[in-house]
Amino acid sequence: MQLDLFALLQIPEQYIGMLQRYAAAMILLAILLMVTKWQGIGIGRKLIVGTIRGTIQIILMALILVYIFALSNLIVIFGVLTFMAVFAAYTTKSNLERIPGVMRATLPGILVGALSVMATTVALQIIDWQSSPGEFIIPMGGMLIGNCMGLTTLVIDRMWSNAQKQRPLLETALALGATPKQATELSIRESIRSGLLPNLNRYASLGIVSIPGLMSGMIIGGVNPLEAAIYQVIIFIMIFLSAMIASLITSHLFLREMFNERAQLTVPPPEL
């Protein structure tokens, strides 16, 4: 009966299985939504919007990826990465909508963090990108940008909520003449550490628990497994370095949103 419907709509056979799989995954999404609702986690709307938006984005990306991978001009490739970084920064802003000035802090962080590490890797020939620059630099750069986005989001969220919840502690520090940076040092350090933790876990269990996508893709794509494995270690180091640079820049810039030029805390108390 279902198949008849597909036939009626004249959907080519090869897509039917695909759509069925997608529909089946929606059952998992429904379960996820129920659990988040039940636990009052309050990210249901974000999950739904994210699914719709993500599906459209990734389909478009899949369609143009062939062309993007074929790119060989480094300037164009880094242009694409810049676009991705801007989009990543925009995403941090929309995920932290209650916090002002997010993008002013995350955009420079993500741009510098991801692109500088990628450029260094390319310049030092740490990866063998010459054969097909697009195929190497775009997905690797994408991973760096994604991780920078994750860590900067977390750092800002922590800095903001710490400033709201620990006002008396911040005030104690400022009242002794601490700079905003000194007063928030500890919470920044903690949030960077806890933001890196999931990746550190993945790093430590590399190859045993986590079989990373990059390596799998390379092996499927015919790269020598040994080479693919080395690349996976390299990409992890690149991820840590870029995320670290991004979060340091972002946290530094975000202090300007939390304190005014008289080093007075401008973060409002938590809303009811």
Partner 1 sequence: MSDSPILELEKVSMSFDGKQVLRDVSLILHQNETCGITGPSGCGKSTLLRIVNDLLSPISGTVRFQEKDVKEWDPQELRRRVVMVPQEAKMFPGTVRANLVWGLRVHGMAADDEQLKTILQEVQLWPIDLDGNAENLSGGQKQRVAIARALLLKPKVLLLDEPTSALDTESALAVEKTINDLLSDYKMAVLIVTHNKEQAKRFTSKIVELENLTEAS
Binding site for partner 1 (CB under 8 A): 166, 168-169, 171-179, 182, 186, 262-265
- The nearest distance, CB 262 to partner 1, in angstroms, is 5
State the Cα–Cα distance between residues 247 and 151, nearest whole angstrom.
6
45 vs 262, beta carbon nearer partner 1: 262
52 vs 186, beta carbon nearer partner 1: 186
168 vs 221, beta carbon nearer partner 1: 168
State the Cα–Cα distance between residues 106 and 88, nearest whole angstrom.
9
Long-range contacts of 93-102 (CB under 8 A, 24+ apart): 95/46, 95/153, 96/153, 96/156, 96/157, 96/160, 98/271, 99/156, 99/157, 99/160, 99/257, 100/257, 101/254, 101/256, 101/257, 102/156, 102/254
State the Cα–Cα distance between residues 202 and 198, nearest whole angstrom.
6
Cα 181 off chain centre by: 25
- The nearest distance, CB 252 to partner 1, in angstroms, is 17
Nearest to 95, CA basis, from 150, 147, 52: 150
CB atoms within 10 A of CB 269: 9
Q: Amino acid identity, residue 216?
A: S
129 vs 259, beta carbon nearer partner 1: 259
Dihedral, CA of residue 261, residue 264, residue 92 and residue 143, to nearest 10: 70
- The nearest distance, CB 228 to partner 1, in angstroms, is 43
Please tell me whether residue 178 adopts helix, strand or coil conformation. Answer: coil
- The nearest distance, CB 183 to partner 1, in angstroms, is 8
- The nearest distance, CB 170 to partner 1, in angstroms, is 9
1 vs 175, beta carbon nearer partner 1: 175
State the Cα–Cα distance between residues 246 and 248, nearest whole angstrom.
6
**8 Å CB contact between 140 and 127:** yes
86 vs 178, beta carbon nearer partner 1: 178
217 vs 270, beta carbon nearer partner 1: 270
